[in-house]
Amino acid sequence: MSQARRAALILIGAVAAMTLAGCTPQAQSAASSHSSRPSSSATHRPTPTHTSDRPTTSPAPSASTPPDPPSGTGSDPAAAKALAVKACQAIAGGFAAASVAQARPLAQEAAQRDPIWIPLADDLAYIEKNPIDPNTGEGPQKTIDDSATAAHDCFHLAGVQVSQD
Amino acid sequence: MRRSRPLFRVAASLFLIGVIAASLFAFPQKPAEAALAAPAESTCVTTCRNVPPTAQAAAQELLNNYNHGTFIVEWAERAIIPNEIQPIANGTISGSPQCNIDTRTLQTLVIIIRNYGSLQTSDLNRHCANDTVATCQSNPTSRHCVPSTGPSAMDITYIGGARTRGNDAASGILLSFLDSFLPSGSRAGQASGGSGCGTYAMPSLRNISRFTDSCTHIHIDLGSTTSPLRNLTTG
């Protein structure tokens, strides 16, 4: 066997070992070392669970910063999507009244340029007119359902994650 | 050239041993299952027997679990116990109705603790316990805030000592178990592609739909359904 073949074999072995070893941290992180029955004083490490409530965009390619839409109306799917992305980014942290007020006109303009955004515009219009009271949770069931639909559309059509948490 | 062959064999053997050792460490046998308390059911049968029939009874069992360290509340949301669980257990929740929790959610928490030994939560009713970042002011339509009669959402960060981020093995095990008794129309967070979640495989579910969320926890709620938990015997 030539020196070159030996070197190649050694190199392949090393790469294989490093690749396999590279899986270890992820696999171990799935399995916590914590006791299955923790004592009352053994509270687990606090974990932030609400990062989605901060405005974030999903890693979907369509969520990249959109160009400023041109003025005027008419069929223009690209401009419509840019407007819809902005609308979804406005409500990324949730359906607070101020956020919905900001998002609704953008979605409405997007709907005028491309009918695919009509459901989003309609949902946001309903939510704006029929808000949930943030102090008591009182409000129409349709508002809650529409917010879930709007969040779904934002993620799947505009690539923007909107908090439902 | 022949003289160098034994040396090569030694080197090759060492690499082979290294590869085998690395593969053993890299693929531990079912890590989440190993971390979860045994015996745990994959379908709710025994665990779903004699479930507390009322919110008050379920809250009393949760309070007992809390005192024994098997129901753990994260520090930022520590008000869950005095503001939500305690008044429900005491029967005084009518004095602060905005702090109520859906009976089915309390029952679900009891069932999960029975099955896995322990549970850590980071969010229940956000009106009366929150981390000041995720609030009902910031997202009034969150199922941690609605309906006004008692939200059904629960954020779970550990079961039986295994971390649940929504995209991991423990979350998959939990979701399959929940699917065996939650009503159709229930929802879970952390669909693949969500923030920080990456792409991953999860079990197919019949009664629980998925939505995108950040992979720091597993979010469960009962959606808009008012149906009771399935396959329970209460007592």
Has residue A101 got a pLDDT over 80? yes
Q: Does a structural domain hold residue B212?
A: yes
B1 is a domain residue = no
Mutate to test the interface with B, among A15, A50, A155 (most CBs of B within 10 A): A50
The conformation of residue A40, written as its DSSP 8-state character, comes to: T
Average of per-residue pLDDT across B112-139: 97
What ipTM, to 2 d.p.? 0.82
Q: Does residue B80 sit within a domain?
A: yes
Q: For A165, name the nearest residue in chain B, comparing CA atoms only.
A: B142
The minimum CA-CA distance between B141 and chain A, rounded to whole Å, is 5
Q: How far apart are alpha carbons B219 and B194 in whole angstroms?
A: 13
Contact A52 B193 (CB under 8 A): no
Residue A147 has pLDDT above 90, yes or no: yes
Report if residue B70 sits inside a domain.
yes
Chain B residue numbers with beta carbons less than 8 Å from the beta carbon of A152 are 211
pLDDT tens for each residue of A113-135: 999 999 999 999 999 999 999 99
The dihedral sign for the CA sequence A31, A37, A42, A47: positive
**Which residue of B212, B219, B221 is the best one to mutate when testing the A interface, meaning the one whose CB has the most A CBs within 10 A?**
B212
Residue to mutate among A26, A35, A36, with most B CBs inside 10 A, is A36
Closest Cα of chain B to A91: distance in Å? 9
Please tell me the total count of domains within chain B. Answer: 1
Which of A52-61, A139-148, B136-145, B160-169 shows the lowest per-residue confidence on average (mean pLDDT)?
Answer: A52-61
Which residues in chain A have Cβ-Cβ distances shorter than 8 Å to B135? 134
Question: What local confidence, expressed as pLDDT, does residue A114 receive?
Answer: 98
pLDDT exceeds 90 at position A73? no
B211-223 confidence digits (pLDDT tens): 999 999 999 999 9
pLDDT tens digits for A40-49? Answer: 334 555 565 5
Domain of residue B146 covers 40-221
The model's pLDDT over B166-188, given as tens digits with 9 standing for 90+, comes to 999 999 999 999 999 999 999 99
Q: Is residue B19 part of a domain?
A: no
Q: Which of B22, B134, B212 lies nearest to residue A53, judging by beta carbons?
A: B134
Q: How far apart are CA B37 and CA B116, in angstroms?
A: 5
Whether residue B57 lies inside any domain: the answer is yes
Collect all residues of chain A within an 8 Å Cβ-Cβ radius of residue B160.
Answer: 36-37
In a domain, B96, yes or no: yes
pLDDT of B17: 65
Judge whether B178 lies within some domain. yes
Asked whether the beta carbons of residue A21 and residue B69 sit closer than 8 angstroms, the reply is no
Enter the tokens of residue A136.
């008591």
Task: Please give the full DSSP string across B46-94, using - where no structure is assigned.
Answer: STTTTB-SSHHHHHHHHHHHHHTTSEEE-GGGTTIIIIIIHHHHHT-GG
The pLDDT assigned to A34 comes to 28
